[in-house]
Chains A and B, each alone.
Chain A
């Protein structure tokens, strides 16, 4: 269980970010280090002024999916950024922004929520990942 988990977050919809946050929190709770690499629309969702916004759901969610997600939220499910914050509090979670995606969005690290620890390129990502597992969400 000590093998690190590397997760590439590409999608920026709230459901996929929640799924990623849940996987991250579960890993952190068993002491498994997690390395998150934020690309494209996932990175966009981590913008300081956008993190609390409604980022929509994946197209397959549809109306029923939207209703189901809203029901869980009303029942008190923490939003994805809260889940992720708790995971980071447990320790062992490193969140890095993809430098290409930073250029794409025209932003700097100060534009991002403090959940993001730094900025790195794909070479650094692979250097950290080594031969360990990589998930793409």
Chain B
């Protein structure tokens, strides 16, 4: 797990697909280039979803890690 200093944390724990991505996309709209967002989620589909979302939108997925049934993603606004 990298040592990042998020500008914003998105708590998507307990949310089903596609809400972790939707909440993150909403949050990103209020941020600027270079800002760091940390997301925590419990939806197992979010691992592939965040990788795909990053590829599609250009926001950089800096880290993706799993701790039991908790998933953590760190993204940098493009």
Contacts and interface: CB of A to CB of B under 8 A. Distances in A.
B77 to A, nearest CB: 14
B21 A1 contact: no
A90 B57 CA distance: 13
B19 interface: yes
A29 B16 contact: no
A22 B20 CA distance: 12
B34 interface: no
Given A1-B56, A78-B19, A28 B14 contact: no
B8 interface: no
Chain A contact-residue range equals: 10 to 19
A76 B26 contact: no
Interface in A48-89: 72, 75-78, 83, 86-87, 89
Contacts of A29: 18, 21-22, 24-25, 53
Nearest to A86: B22
A76 B25 CA distance: 20
Interface in B11-39: 14-19, 21-22, 24-26, 29
25 contacts: A1-B56, A22-B17, A22-B18, A25-B18, A25-B21, A26-B18, A26-B22, A28-B22, A28-B25, A29-B18, A29-B25, A30-B52, A30-B53, A30-B56, A31-B57, A75-B16, A78-B19, A86-B19, A86-B26, A87-B22, A89-B26, A90-B22, A90-B25, A90-B26, A90-B29
